[in-house]
A and B are shown apart, each in its own frame.
Chain A
Amino acid sequence: MLHALGGAQITLRIADPSAGDTSSQLGIAPPMSEDIQIEPALVRTIAPSPNGARRIEVTLSAKAVKPIAEQYGVEDVPTWLLTAEGILYRGKLMSIDTVICDHLGGVDYLYHITATE
């Protein structure tokens, strides 16, 4: 379905694990980030936030996300997506507000991500 609707690619920016040392705990040494390309993705512009910031909804198939998440040892994909640094969209990092998961037969099949500029 996502392929039929355009099959775009999005970039998810995740933070590498923190060093856990004093500098990182004090916010002095920021963790490194990594950009991950995920496709197919359906990107839809939705109503802006109350302060006028642009918002998008990104729909991803679990089939595309799960193999990538497994590479990072992730079991809880929605929480992993929610705690990512954001989605790079048209050159801007948009922070992730919500992640909604659709299930079928007890298995995730779609993730709907809402992100704000």
Chain B
Amino acid sequence: MQPAKDSFYIELRNRLVAVDPQRTIVLDGALRPAIAVLENEPPNPTPPICDCFLLHWGSARLVRPSTDTLMALDCTIAYCTAGAEANAHLDRGRDLARLDNDLLAICSPAHTAKFDYSSGDPVALGSSLFWTPPALTAAKTMPPYIGREVSITLFFYPKVNQT
């Protein structure tokens, strides 16, 4: 399952660099594209991370247990923004729309090749994963923040030779 999770993140990260190279963030002292997998980050309580896509992994299951090993894995992508202080945060809705646009752009096309990153270097596994179109929930307001969560389900075969 880990290669699917890693490949999905890396693909979205690389697409974000291409779609919106200015969307970066400093996390743990390093400048990087503004997308992160929460379980890969330090477990410290931190203030809300704005203008960054945060991936959370949800439940996983076999899609057709009696016939094959196709797996489904839920992913939630959360993001929020406060707008700009210089604009009295009045542009937070517009910033959220820009985040929505970036997210929709990086989620298409809804498939990518699967790699094993456990050694540090990507090793092609000869298979791929695909995912559902992103489902955007209603925006939530937590002044001065506004944000939303997006649900995506990934599908993949956990074994290489079954694609």
Q: Hey, which bits of chain A sit against chain B, CB under 8 A?
A: 15-20, 22-29, 31, 79, 82-85, 95-97
> In the bound complex, how far is the Cα of B46 from the Cα of A9, in angstroms?
25
Give the shortest distance, in Å, between A19 (CB) and chain B (any CB): 7
Q: Hey, which bits of chain B sit against chain A, CB under 8 A?
A: 6, 9-10, 13, 27-32, 36-37, 39-47, 117-118, 120
- CB–CB B30/A15 < 8 A: no
- Given contacts A29-B120, A79-B47, whether A24 and B42 have CB atoms under 8 Å apart is no
- CB–CB A27/B44 < 8 A: no
- Which residues from chain B contact A83 at a C-beta distance below 8 Å? 42, 44, 46
- Which residues from chain A contact B117 at a C-beta distance below 8 Å? 22-23, 26, 28
> In the bound complex, how far is the Cα of B62 from the Cα of A2, in angstroms?
59
Give the shortest distance, in Å, between A114 (CB) and chain B (any CB): 11
- Given contacts A26-B117, A29-B120, A82-B45, whether A17 and B40 have CB atoms under 8 Å apart is no
| Closest Cβ neighbor of B119 among chain A residues | A28
Given B30, B47, B120, which contacts A17 in the complex, CB threshold below 8 Å? B30
Give the shortest distance, in Å, between B103 (CB) and chain A (any CB): 18
- Which residues from chain B contact A26 at a C-beta distance below 8 Å? 6, 9-10, 37, 40, 117
Given A16, A31, A82, which contacts B44 in the complex, CB threshold below 8 Å? A82
Q: Which of B28, B37, B46 has the most CB of A within 10 A?
A: B28
